[in-house]
A and B are shown apart, each in its own frame.
Chain A
Amino acid sequence: MSISDGQPAIVFHGVWKSFTRHAGQLLIRDRIKQRLHGHHVEKFHALRDVSFIVRDGESVALIGHNGAGKSTVLNLTTGLCRPDQGQVEVHGRVSPLLELGAGFHYDLTGAENVRINASLLGLSRREVNHKFDEIVAFSEIGDFINEPLRTYSTGMTMRLAFSVAVNVNPDILIIDEVLGVGDLNFVAKSLERIMEFRRAGKTILCVSHSVETLKSICERAVWLDHGRVLDDGPIARVVEAYKNAMSQHAVSAG
């Protein structure tokens, strides 16, 4: 089966998304002011008419400068927010590997955090019991698993969070800037686990500042610029075009 024949896993169709810059103005006082002075709330357009389809088993990188809308695409895919206009369709279980360790608490032990994090990611009691040993083994935390998280090094915390996320067994894995953490061994092991996902025919959507990492994981890239899709195609070509644009930008700015 060639890739283009796969069923769509993620569909963005004419998606617009804007955020209001309220700058913390959420008290009654501010609300009344907004009413009195008319609605001059400043809006920031994160995505403007973005369309693309990711098919089952594809691994796609999102590239672009800071604020181009990469994270907004990931958050819409995860289901954290909804588009202003257009449609976002997602078929399958999504596991966000973004900002690892959401819900981790430093006074609780590693084991307690694993259970909490796994249930937040949608695992049932049975699944957690079944996978617990595997998660702990993969993280290489060892006996520290029963110690409070505040005794862990940053690398250990990241390893634990990564182990939970990859063991959720998602259909769609979302990776946001997480592969730079931990020692080289663990990075290699994480990459290996992600490649296993690819071989198993899972869909991957990935954001990273490391172009080399993206090239090793993904076959296709979507280039976002100020909320629009500038290019979409084989990763080597898109990354090349992106690099050229960046260096030109640097020259003209310098």
Chain B
Amino acid sequence: MWRGDYLYLIQNLVMKDFRIRYRNMSLGVLWSLLNPLVMMGVLTFVFTKIFPNPNIQHFPFFILCGMIPYNFFTLAWSTGTTSIVDNAGLIKRLPVPREVVPITSVLSCCIHLLVQIGLLIFIALTSGVGVNIQWLWLPVVWVLEIVFVCGLAMLTAAVNVFVRDMRYVVESTNLVLFWLVPIFYPFSMIPQQYSRIYEINPVAALVILLRRILLEAAAPDGPTHTLLKLVAVSFTIFVVGMVFFRRLKPMFYEHI
């Protein structure tokens, strides 16, 4: 039915979100930096003064490699989950392809993310961590993460139309995830029988990969093929989310 220009539409909707969010803030995008910096300060205090771990170099930077993927994931997933219900006006009035709605809400969080990645790079350059050739992998791992979140958001956004409790499930999962993603502890500390589970969790995998690339200057795939696992899980979830969403979308109109 709708034969429009997908890319132009998504671009317009993402810019719309961005403008609405930042136009009325005097500090604008600086707000995106405040949360990770505060969390970095607090966690650095706790884990260098109260529970010190002398094995970790560049501790504030180490924390930031965990916080930024975690922040992006939780924000994108929760806004993506409620996106269809929040955009009821659009769904009820215009025959816009429904997939555009959760994907746009995930991509809108990427503007936020770009600012935070800028911060990460700035701190890498100023704190003596330094640049290395493996940085070329950074866009790859982030794109994989975005693909994963888009898939997951389509899945939960569709469920949320029919069972509105879904958003609370997502919010609770996000809280639990703070402890199950290696944010303030290194991947190497995880006992071997659990490490596999960490690697197939794309949020944890992203943190592991970021630290390998930025802190160890090592190739991201590593001996256990963390990168390959991230590729496999991300695309699987994307396809599953897309198929599930398409099955349910004809019934959205009647349920919102």
Interface residues, chain A, with chain B CB atoms under 8 Å away:
19-20, 22, 26-28, 31, 75, 78-82, 90, 93-94, 96, 98-99, 102-103, 105, 107-108, 112, 115-116, 119-125, 128
A102-B20 CB under 8 A given contacts A96-B94, A116-B12 = no
* B85 to A, closest residue via Cβ: A26
Given A82-B250, A107-B24, do A93 and B3 touch, yes or no (CB 8 Å)?
Answer: yes
What are 29 contact pairs spanning A and B, CB under 8 A? A20-B254, A22-B255, A26-B164, A27-B165, A78-B1, A78-B94, A79-B2, A80-B91, A80-B93, A80-B95, A82-B250, A90-B1, A94-B1, A96-B94, A102-B93, A103-B90, A103-B94, A107-B20, A107-B23, A108-B20, A112-B19, A116-B16, A119-B8, A120-B90, A122-B2, A122-B5, A123-B4, A123-B5, A128-B8
Complex contacts, B13 vs chain A, CB 8 Å? 116, 119
Total of A-B residue pairs, C-beta within 8 Å: 87
Q: Report Cα–Cα, A82/B249, bound state, in Å.
A: 11
Complex interface bits, B82-99 against A, C-beta within 8 A gives 1, otherwise 0: 000000011111111000
Residue of A with least CB distance to B91: A80
Residues on B with beta carbons closer than 8 Å to the beta carbon of A31: 163
Given known pairs A31-B163, A79-B1, A98-B93, the reply for A108 and B250 (CB within 8 Å) is: no
Residue pair A102, B90 in contact (C-beta under 8 Å): yes
Please, how many angstroms separate the alpha-carbon atoms of A105 and B1 in the complex?
25
| Cα A105 to Cα B12 with chains together (Å) | 13
| B15: chain A residues within 8 A (beta carbon) | 112
Indicate whether B162 reaches chain A with its CB closer than 8 angstroms: yes
CA–CA, A79 to B76, complex, Å?
29
When distances are taken between beta carbons in the complex, the residues of chain B under 8 Å from A108 are: 16, 19-20
Given A119-B12, A124-B8, A19 and B89 contact (CB-CB distance below 8 Å): no
Residues of B within 8 A of A26 (CB): 162-164, 255
Asked whether any CB of chain A lies closer than 8 Å to the CB of B9, the reply is yes
* Nearest chain A residue, comparing its CB with the CB of B100: A120
Interface string of B127-159 (1 = CB under 8 A from A): 000000000000000000000000000000000
Residues of A within 8 A of B253 (CB): 75, 80-81
In the complex, A122→B96 CA distance in Å?
8
Residues of B within 8 A of A (CB): 1-5, 8-9, 12-13, 15-16, 19-20, 23-24, 89-96, 162-165, 250, 253-255
Q: Which 4 A-B pairs have the closest CB atoms?
A: A122-B4, A79-B1, A124-B5, A102-B93
Task: Report Cα–Cα, A107/B16, bound state, in Å.
Answer: 10
Complex CA–CA separation, A19 to B254 (angstroms): 7
Contacts of A94 in B (CB 8 A): 1, 95
- The CA-CA distance from A44 to B142 in the complex, in Å, is 47
Q: From A82, which residue of chain B is reached at the shortest CB distance?
A: B250
The listed residue with most B CB atoms (<10 A of its CB), out of A20, A79, A80, A98, is A80
Instruction: Contact check, A27 vs B164: say whether CB atoms are below 8 A apart.
Output: yes
For B9, list chain A residues within 8 Å (CB).
Answer: 119-120
B89 near A103 with CB under 8 A, answer: yes
Closest A residue by C-beta to B5 = A124
Nearest residue (CB) in A for B16 is A116
| B165 and A121 within 8 A (CB) | no
* Contacting residues, chain B, for A123 (C-beta < 8 A): 4-5
Closest to A113 in B: B16
Q: How far, in whole Å, are A93 and B3 apart by their CA atoms in the complex?
A: 8
Write out the residue numbers on chain B whose beta carbons fall within 8 Å of the beta carbon of A75: 253
Residue of B nearest to A19 (CB): B254
A125 touches B5 (CB 8 A): yes
CB-CB under 8 A for A28 and B165, given A102-B89, A119-B8, A124-B8: yes
Contact partner of A102 (CB less than 8 A), chosen from B23, B94, B163, B164, is: B94
Q: Is the CB of B3 within 8 A of A122?
A: yes
A81 and B1 CA atoms in complex are apart in Å by 11
Which of A22, A90, A120, A123 has most chain B Cβ within 10 Å? A120
Using Cβ atoms and an 8 Å threshold, which residues of chain B touch A107? 19-20, 23-24
> A105–B20 contact, CB under 8 A?
yes
